[in-house]
Every structure is written in C-alpha cells, then in structure tokens.
Amino acid sequence: MDEIQKVDLTHVKPYGDTLNDGMVQMSFTLPIPYGDESKEAARQLVSKMGFRDASVVFSKDLGIGYTYFVVYGKCVHTVDYTAIKVPKVKMEFMDMYGVQDYIKENIKRNVVIVGACTGTDAHTVGIDAIMNMKGFDGNYGLERYKGIEAINMGSQVPNEELIAKAIEVRADAIIVSQVVTQKDVHIKNLTQLVEILEAEKIRDKIILVCGGPRISHELAQELGYDAGFGVGSCANHVATFVVKQIVERKLI
C-alpha cells in the first residue's frame, strides 16, 4: 500500500522488482541466423529503442535464418496518466434482464440484429461471443435475450450479403466482427461496408457496430460506425447501446 501511494500518476513508468525501476521484458524475432552475433544485434537494437542496461535473457533458433529473442531492459520514459483521454462508449450498461425490460417498456417490439464476421475473416469467436445463446464467460449472447431477434450469419460473409440480409429482415442493427487485421484488411473491409450502406441510402436507418481485438470506439467512429467494442466487451454492452440508440434516434 505504501508503494502505491508513492506513485506519481503524472510520470508513470514500468516496474519489475522496485517501483519506477523501468524494467521491461520484450520478445521479438529478427531475420538473422542464431548465434552470438544475433544476440548482440538484439541487444543493440533494444538499446537504440531507448532502453538502458539491455540484456538478452533467452534466444531460440527458428531455422532458415530467423532467431527469436526475449530481452530485458530499463525504460527511461514516462507517461502522464492523468492527461490520457480515451474515447469510449459512455453509458450505464444494463444486464440482460435490464435490456429486456427496456425493450418491453420503450420499444414494444422485437429488436432485430444481424451479425457476421465479414470478408475473408474466418474467425467466429468474437461474433459468437456476442450473438450465440451461450455467450462467453457467463454472459449470455443476444440469442437468449427476450425481445431480440439475433441472426448470426457466421464467418467469411461478403459485405453485400450481410447488407442484403439486413434489408430483408428490416434489421435495426448490424454487428461486424473483425479478427484478422494483417495489412489493415479490417480497415478496408469495414470501410467498404459503410460505403455500400451509404450507396443504398440506408446508413442513417441502421445502427452500425463493429468489434474485434484491434477495434476501438475511436477507430469505429472514424470509419463511420456508431460504436466500436474491443476485447472484454460482452453482449449486454452491445445490446444496451443498440436499444438506447433505437430510442434516442427514434427508430422505433
């Protein structure tokens, strides 16, 4: 407790054994063959990053001229934690029962939500955690909510098919999950979906939400979405946002 009280939140830095010692553990791979020279290269590289007393504590030959390293070093930089402002969905989230009551009292009809992992992305873990009845980590998915008609289209769904389904069922909201992010393919895919909605002249009639490990609320809004939910988000967070947006935007 005494250590915690000594923390200066305007100058926060990492620590390993002692407060403010700056100790950091890094791991990375270099395209060079395993050996003493590669270890020295890794040490010099970390030193150029601004770490003091850098030392290679582990290295492994990955074959074909690649080596993996774990390096320790002392970070000399700090951040002002008190000045950090992260854009996020700001509202009091309801649990499943609260959402169900809200729908019954304020919307008085089923809320239709269509979701998918779009493009070439085959990872369904994100969209399933939000949509599937069993949900994730004790948080039930939207399929279990009374008053919500949840349609999970699965993975590798073209944007055109997702939008066509949303139009067919007169969806209130579209949820898009993106897990694969190499070469920013998720940015291109998410942008295309918004462009198609705008071309169909229905963007303002549908609540648009995206999520994934590299999705933030700020990024989502920059791309034209109403909200973005990252790692740790649950079905009740998405459901709360959608139903409140329906009422606020008078999409009842």
Cβ atoms of 46 and 73 closer than 8 Å: yes
Nearest to 223 by CA among 252, 249, 186: 186
Catalytic status, residue 104: no
Alpha-carbon span 133 to 148, nearest angstrom: 11
Contacts of residue 232, Cβ cutoff 8 Å, sequence gap at least 6: none
**Tokens of residue 217, six digits:** 């609320």
Cα separation, 167 vs 243, whole angstroms: 19
Please list the residues that pair with 211 across neighbouring strands.
Answer: 177, 229
From 60, 88, 134, 188, active-site residue: 134
Give backbone dihedrals phi and psi of 72, rounded to 5 degrees, phi first. -105, 145
Q: Amino acid letter at 20?
A: N
Coil, helix or strand at residue 184: helix
Taking the C-alpha atoms of residue 101 and residue 32, their distance in angstroms, rounded to an integer, is: 60
Burial class (CB in 10 A: 0-12, 13-18, 19+), 23: middle
Query: How far is it, in rounded angstroms, from Cα 229 to Cα 237?
Result: 8
Six-digit token pair at 137? 């980590």
Q: 194: which 2 tokens?
A: 């918004």
Catalogue the active-site residues: 134
